[in-house]
Amino acid sequence: MAGAPEVIDTLLVPGGVPADFRFAPDAHGIPEEPTPDAVPGALDVVRELAPRASRIASICTGAFVLAALGMLDGRRATTHWAHCARLARRHPRVRVEPDALFVQDGPFVTGAGISAGTDLALALVERDHGTELARRVARWLVVFLQRPCGQAQFSVWFRSGVPATPGLRQVLDTVTLEPAGDHSTSAMAARAAVSERHLARMFHDEVGTTPARYVEQIRLEAAKLLLVTGDESQSSIARRAGFGNPETMRRIFRRNLGVSPRHLPQPLPHHGHGSTGLGSPVEPAPVDRRRPK
């Protein structure tokens, strides 16, 4: 490809639908993503440039290009939530993880929707150039440093939707902002100025779960975030997340996730300036025409 460097540190494959792509909405009204035949230009470019790159990343439906070239076969990957099922269906050899902002497997990093591309990019900056520079970039972008790669594309709060009843919305907001607070059924009912029975009906009708289950999921999400973004003790995290003690936190982790907090996937390690890749340090790739393994 004319003008492309012979050695590439990071090759980024964006998502999107080309202007000349013809599509029909599926049963849910969501346009079908480009098939390999629909984006020959993208396939040809990535096929040519990939062997020169030490690291290959995709954003949103860019994962379909990598999958179509067989680069994600046998690997974990993600894409925008609306396209995860199609990615898995069209490329069954790809281990699609629909509930992740971005996924790293070897030299390949695949991101979810467009905003998750910011999280992925900041993660690359931090791994290559350190936390301080990543923080400076994040400040200029007016965003958080980054959400951890294992965080879900949708939090409990978003999955629950916005309740129509103002009192219930206040209850949900309080639980989300203060997971360690008193969120017993009686306390939440008093906060919403309703009976405990009526609170249970409101949760069932507007949130789709029970008050206790909602509180548990919020606390679980808070604990996961603290575990992957800090270095506090499990006792401290259990208190801050509202579990009270590590044993309760371990029990709830096992029941919901099948693993203990100690075995929760951790953020990818930082290897300092000059490193390539998000995982183990990778030597600069030799210039050849082989597809990355």
* Segment 167-176, tens digit of pLDDT: 898 898 888 8
Residue 79 confidence (pLDDT) above 60: yes
Q: State the pLDDT at residue 281.
A: 30
Q: How far is CA 254 from the centre of its chain?
A: 21
Angle at 240 between CA 171 and CA 279, to 5 degrees: 110
- Rounded CA-CA distance 91/70 in Å is 9
Question: What whole-number percentage of the chain has pLDDT above 70?
Answer: 74
Of 122-131, 141-150, 186-195, 225-234, where does the model show the most confidence? Answer: 186-195
Q: What is the pLDDT of residue 20?
A: 40
Give residue 149's pLDDT.
56
95-96 and 76-77: which strand pairing? Answer: parallel
- The predicted structure's pLDDT at residue 265: 58
Alpha helices in 142-184 (DSSP H): 156-160, 166-177
pLDDT at 107: 95
3-state DSSP assignment of residue 8: strand
15 vs 160, higher pLDDT? 15
What is the per-residue pLDDT for 246?
Answer: 94
Do residues 244 and 223 touch, judged by C-beta distance below 8 A?
A: no
- The residue with greater pLDDT, 288 or 200, is 200
CA atoms of 25 and 31, how far apart (whole Å): 4
Task: Give the pLDDT mean for 251-275.
Answer: 66
**Using 50, 70 and 90 to split pLDDT, how confident is the model at 291?**
very low
> Quick check: 244 pLDDT over 70?
yes
The mean predicted confidence, pLDDT, of the chain is 79
Of 26 and 213, the structure prediction assigns the larger pLDDT to: 213
Query: Among residues of the chain, what percentage have pLDDT more than 90?
Result: 40
Tokens 């082989």, located at residue: 290
For residues 174 and 204, what is the distance between their CA atoms, to the nearest angstrom?
Answer: 18
pLDDT given at position 161: 59
- pLDDT surpasses 80 at 70: yes
Whole-angstrom distance, CA of residue 50 vs CA of residue 32:
26
C-alpha–C-alpha distance, residues 114 and 14, integer Å: 9
pLDDT digits (tens, 9 = 90+) for 5-38: 889 999 999 987 543 444 445 554 545 544 444 4
Task: Find which of 132-136, 206-210, 287-291 is predicted with most confidence, using mean pLDDT.
Answer: 206-210
Whether the predicted pLDDT of 148 surpasses 80? no
Determine the average pLDDT of the residues in 116-131: 86
Instruction: Work out the average pLDDT over 36-59.
Output: 84
* Per-residue pLDDT at 289: 35
